[in-house]
Amino acid sequence: MKFSLVACLLGATTLATAVSHELEKAPVDRLGKRCTGTIASLKDVAAAVKCQTVNIKSFTVDAGKTFELDLADGAVVNLQGDITFGSKSWEGPLMLIQGKDVTFNGGGHKLDGQGAKLWDGYGSNSGGVTKPKFFKVKMSGVMDNFTLLNQPVQGFSVSNPAKLVIIIVDVRAGAAKGHNTDGFDLSSAKDLTITHATVYNQDDCVAINDGDGITIENSTCIGGHGISIGSIRANKVVRNVVIQNNKVIDNDNGLRIKTYDNQPGASVSNVRYTGNVVTNAKKAGVIIQQDYTNEGATGKTTVGVPISGVHFTGTNSVSVASGAKRVYILCAKGSCSDFDFAGLKTSGGSAGSITNVSVKNYSL
Ligand SMILES: *[C@@H]1O[C@H](CO)[C@@H](O)[C@H](O)[C@H]1NC(C)=O
Ligand SMILES: *[C@@H]1O[C@H](CO)[C@@H](O)[C@H](O)[C@H]1NC(C)=O
Ligand SMILES: *[C@@H]1O[C@H](CO)[C@@H](O)[C@H](O)[C@H]1NC(C)=O
C-alpha cells in the first residue's frame, strides 16, 4: 500500500511534467518531445514515452500486465531502480520495448520476473502451469548494463528491426525447477551483437532461430544447454553468424546447431566459431544434428535443412565430461556442406561420430 502511494505521487508529478511540455512541437512525428518522462507505475507510461528521455524509477508491475515501452525514435531510457514483476500464470510478455535507435541504459539495475513462484520443473513445452515470457526486444540501438533475474520461462526474445547491440547484460534463473529458461531467443534478428552477457540458466544460453548478421561474443554461459543455432523449422533462415570468445561452462552441450527433419524453406549458412572455450560439456562439445525434435532426437534424418559453411577458425577449445561426446554430427545425406574444423581442439569424454558430411581438418 505504502509503496503504491509513493508510486502514484511520483506518477502525478511526471504527468504534470509531461503535460507542461505538451506545447512543444515535435519536428517529426516519431521523434520524441524534448522532455523527460518519468515512469514509476504503469499509469505513467503513456505520457512518458512521448518524451525523448524516459527515466524509470523502481516499481512493481501489476501481475498479468505487460510493461510496454513504445518509444520515440532516438529515445534514451534510463533505468534508475529495480523493477519487480508481479507473479501470475499467463503468457506474458512481462516487458516489451520497441523503437528505432533507442539507448536503454540499465544502470546496473535488475528486472525481476519472480520466476521461482511459477517454476514447477515443466517449463513451457512439456506441461505445468502457463508461464509468462519475460522481455520482448523489438528495438534497434543499444541496450546495456542490467540483470534480467528469475525469468519464469524464456528470458529475452529479440527480433530487432535494425542494428542492435546488447552489452553487459546478465540473465539469471537460479533454481533446479526452472525449465526452458532460455537466456536469449533470437528470431528475425538482423545486425545484432550480444557482447559481455552472462547467462546462468537451465536451457539454451542463446538460441538463434531466425536471423542474418548475428555476433555473440565475449559472453559466458553457465549451467544451461549451450549456444545454439535452432531449433530450425520450416521457412526459418539463419545466416552470417559469428560466435567468438565465449565461455560455455558446465552446459549440457557446448556449441550446437539443431534442425528438425524435412522443413521446407529453411537453411543455415556461414557460421563461424572462433576463440570459444567450452568446459565440462555434459552431453556433447560440438553437436550438429538434423534430427531434432522437442521430445528428443530421432536418430534419423530424411531431408535435412541445408547447413552450409560451418567454420572453426583460430582456436576453439572444447572439453567434455566423461561420458560425453566431443563431436557429434548427424546430417541427412547431401544436406551438410563446407564444414571446416581447423580451429577446433577437443578433449575428454569419447570421440563421438560424424554422419553424412565430410569435415575438413578434423578427425574423430
Ligand atoms: C552499470 O551502471 C552502474 C550505475 O551507473 C555503474 O556504476 C557501473 O559501472 C555500470 N557497469 C558497467 C559495466 O558499465
Ligand atoms: C573479447 O575478448 C577478446 C579475447 O579475450 C578480446 O581480445 C577482445 O578485445 C574482447 N572484445 C570485446 C568487445 O570486449
Ligand atoms: C545418411 O544419409 C542416408 C541417405 O540419405 C540415409 O539413408 C541415412 O539414414 C543417413 N544417416 C542417418 C544416420 O540419418
- Read off the pLDDT of residues 27-73 as tens digits, 9 standing for 90 and up: 445 777 889 999 999 999 999 999 999 999 999 999 999 999 999 99
Report the separation in Å between the CA atom of 331 and the middle of ligand 3, taken as the mean of its atom positions: 7
Looking at residue 19, its pLDDT comes to 38
Q: How many other CB atoms are there within 10 angstroms of residue 29's CB atom?
A: 7
Atom of ligand 2 nearest to the CA of 275: 4
- Beta carbons within 8 Å of 67's beta carbon, 6+ residues apart: 42, 45, 61, 83, 85, 94, 95, 96
Alpha-carbon gap, residue 131 to 88, rounded angstroms: 8
Atom of ligand 1 nearest to the CA of 107: 2
Alpha-carbon gap, residue 4 to 53, rounded angstroms: 24
Q: Is 274 in the pocket of ligand 3 (CB under 6 A)?
A: no
- Of 137, 52, 124, nearest to 94 by C-alpha is 137
Ligand 1 pocket list (CB less than 6 A): 107-108, 145, 168
Q: How many other CB atoms are there within 10 angstroms of residue 124's CB atom?
A: 20
Looking at residue 8, its pLDDT comes to 33
Looking at residue 239, its pLDDT comes to 98
Looking at residue 29, its pLDDT comes to 57
Q: Is 355 in the pocket of ligand 3 (CB under 6 A)?
A: yes
Alpha-carbon gap, residue 185 to 151, rounded angstroms: 13
Residue of the nearest CA to atom 10 in ligand 2?
A: 218
Predicted structure pTM score: 0.90
Looking at residue 125, its pLDDT comes to 74
Burial class (CB in 10 A: 0-12, 13-18, 19+), 4: middle
Alpha-carbon gap, residue 36 to 181, rounded angstroms: 35
Looking at residue 70, its pLDDT comes to 98
Report the separation in Å between the CA atom of 330 and the middle of ligand 3, taken as the mean of its atom positions: 9
Looking at residue 353, its pLDDT comes to 98
Catalytic residues: 225
For residue 152, give the amino acid letter.
Answer: P
Using 70 as the pLDDT threshold, list the residues of the chain that sit under it: 1-29, 175
Boundaries of every domain in the chain: 33-360
Q: Is 298 in the pocket of ligand 3 (CB under 6 A)?
A: no
Is the domain covering 33-360 a CATH 2.160.20.10 domain?
A: yes
Report the separation in Å between the CA atom of 298 and the middle of ligand 3, taken as the mean of its atom positions: 12
Mutate to test the pocket of ligand 1, among 145, 169, 198 (most ligand atoms within 8 A of CB): 145
Looking at residue 120, its pLDDT comes to 87
Looking at residue 175, its pLDDT comes to 67
Alpha-carbon gap, residue 219 to 247, rounded angstroms: 6
